[in-house]
Amino acid sequence: MAAGCDLVLSNVLLPSGRVADISVFRGKVCHVGAARACPEIIDCRGMTVLPGAVDMHVHMRGRDQRHKEDWASGSMSALAGGVTVVVDQPNTVPPLVTPESFTRRVAEAREASWCHYAINAGFIPGCDLSALWRRGAMAFGEIFAAASSYAEGLTVAELGDVLSTVSSLGGLCTIHAEEPGAGPDTDLTSHHALRPPEGEAASVRRVRDLNDRGCRLHFCHMSCAESVSNAGNSTVEATPHHLFLSLEEFDPSDTRGKVNPPIRPEAVRRRLVSLWDRIDVLASDHAPHTLAEKRQPFDNAPSGVPGVETMVPLALTFCREKKIPLASLIEKTSQMPCEILGIPRAGFQVGDRADFGVYPQGDVTIDADMLHSRAAWTPFEGKRAAFPVTVIMGGEVVFSDGTFSPGHPVWFPGRGFIGEEPPRNNADTAQP
Ligand code: DOR
Ligand code: ZN
């Protein structure tokens, strides 16, 4: 009897340099070599095929903040940028710190997300981390060592408690490390000076020193080389806005460049890029705010920039400019996040999740109008990037030439998950 096959990606240039046909059956790669007999074939000759990206740091918002983003708009934005798994952050309003709100969040995602998802849980003093872990929290955090939008910074004692409890659960803490100073926050230059690279690097060191129980740590959005160096054997993440944007590119009063940690001067950015090999994960810290919110006076304007859709496209162009190898792009956008989180990997081997982005040669100029986030703007306006023409998730085409088709998104719970998926409810972020 002939082996089953649902889809073939033909003439795929593998990272090894070999060209092969990838046959897919029931959501997984079933053969790499000559194509199996199959009703659906996508010819990838001349294209770049990448495993679907896992964006470990996405603020999907929803609920009272659905005017900025919700599961439907954020997940479409992810897919259109070649991201097939998003990891949602818990600084929602209200914060995701009770088992009930966690389970409700999973139900909201299941009703409305177009892409696969995992959900992190947050922390406030007295919250039951163990219950959140059993409900399926992927990781704890981002844990705020310093205040940011919609998040208070934890005290040293609180931080010590989280690290020790999560260590006993065998979980992962993802850390927002910063050490903000006091003073007027009037423009991007003062924002950078008030939340300086040295403070971030010192905060990384302090969190590691506090971690005497050896909790597994992942440092989010490192904005300078010293922070990366201070991370020891913890994993570290960097964002496209810290790697590809510099302070000098913005008018100092432009709140669109306001983000925590801040966008740094060009010299700092360059040193961060020079540590690319040591950076484990590229993640977007997709933090959608509307332009109306950003137009407030500088000190009131929220911090954060949208970026889930532009992350892989910008990085692929960076790679095509010979700044980084393609294998490292695949590693940091897909393999490493899967390994760190325990998500089944996507890729080119038999048994891998059949999630792929197919990218044409050549690039385009980024224009906010072509993006799908409800934020409706991008800090990368005018940059060159290569967007996928086709995105495959679980062996199904979910995005093609600008059109979305519903696939079968799944929830990836964390390792502590016990029990069944929550029942469907009338989640408030539900979309058609
Ligand atoms: O700039 C930021 N915005 N940094 C964060 O850590 C949070 C984020 C947000 O949620 O808007
Ligand atoms: Zn953060």
Active site residues: 285
pLDDT over threshold 60, residue 166: yes
Measured on CA atoms in the order 335, 337, 341, 343, is the torsion positive or negative? negative
Q: Say if residue 261 is preceded by a cis peptide, omega within 30 of 0.
A: yes
CB of 149 within 6 A of ligand 1: the answer is yes
Report residue 116 as tokens. Answer: 């696969």
- Sorting pLDDT into bands at 50, 70 and 90, what band is 176? very high
Any residues with CB less than 8 A from the CB of 213 and at least 6 apart, and which? Answer: 163, 164, 167, 168
State the average pLDDT for the chain. Answer: 95
Query: Tell me, what amino acid is at 93?
Result: V
Least distant ligand from the CA of 152: 1
Predicted model pTM: 0.96
Q: Which of 259, 284, 374 to mutate to test the pocket of ligand 1 (most atoms within 8 A of CB)?
A: 259
Q: Say if residue 406 is preceded by a cis peptide, omega within 30 of 0.
A: no
Q: How many beta carbons lie within 10 A of that of residue 293, not counting itself?
A: 17
pLDDT over threshold 70, residue 422: no
Report the separation in Å between the CA atom of 94 and the middle of ligand 1, taken as the mean of its atom positions. Answer: 15
Q: For residue 255, what are the CA distances in angstroms to 258, 262, 302?
A: 5, 11, 8
Q: What is the pLDDT of residue 152?
A: 85
Helix count and strand count (H, E) for the chain: 13, 19
Give the residues across from 175 on adjacent strands: 143, 219
CB of 175 within 6 A of ligand 1: the answer is no
* Structural domains of the chain sorted by starting position, each given as residue range(s) with its CATH number in brackets: 7-43 (no CATH), 51-349+361-384 (3.20.20.140)
Report the separation in Å between the CA atom of 39 and the middle of ligand 2, taken as the mean of its atom positions. Answer: 45
Q: For residue 301, what are the CA distances in angstroms to 188, 255, 262, 289?
A: 12, 7, 14, 9
Residue nearest to atom 2 of ligand 1 (CA): 304
Give the residues across from 272 on adjacent strands: none
Q: Which ligand 1 atom sits closest to the C-alpha of 220?
A: 6
The answer to whether 299 and 185 have CB atoms below 8 angstroms apart is yes
Q: For residue 427, what are the CA distances in angstroms to 66, 73, 89, 368, 374?
A: 12, 15, 18, 29, 19
Closest CA to 390 of 381, 378, 398, 379: 398
Q: Which long-range contacts (CB under 8 A, 24 or more apart) does 12-19 make?
A: 12/44, 12/49, 12/348, 13/44, 13/47, 13/48, 13/49, 14/348, 15/326, 15/327, 15/330, 15/348
CB of 259 within 6 A of ligand 1: the answer is yes
Report the separation in Å between the CA atom of 76 and the middle of ligand 2, taken as the mean of its atom positions. Answer: 22
The answer to whether 77 and 107 have CB atoms below 8 angstroms apart is no
The answer to whether 168 and 138 have CB atoms below 8 angstroms apart is no
**pLDDT tens figures, 249-289:** 999 999 999 999 999 999 999 999 999 999 999 999 999 99
Q: Which of 67, 245, 285, 308 to mutate to test the pocket of ligand 1 (most atoms within 8 A of CB)?
A: 285
CB of 260 within 6 A of ligand 1: the answer is yes
Q: Which ligand 1 atom sits closest to the C-alpha of 144?
A: 6
Strand order in the sheet with 19-25: 28-33, 19-25, 7-13, 41-43
Residue keyed to tokens 């690290």: 163
**pLDDT tens figures, 308-365:** 999 999 999 999 999 999 999 999 999 999 999 999 999 999 999 999 999 999 999 9
Report the separation in Å between the CA atom of 285 and the middle of ligand 2, taken as the mean of its atom positions. Answer: 7
133 backbone φψ class: left, alpha, beta (φ>0; ψ -120 to 50): alpha
CB of 303 within 6 A of ligand 1: the answer is yes
**pLDDT tens figures, 21-72:** 999 999 999 999 999 999 999 999 999 999 999 999 999 999 999 999 999 9
State the Cα angle at 217 between 213 and 218, rounded to 5°: 175
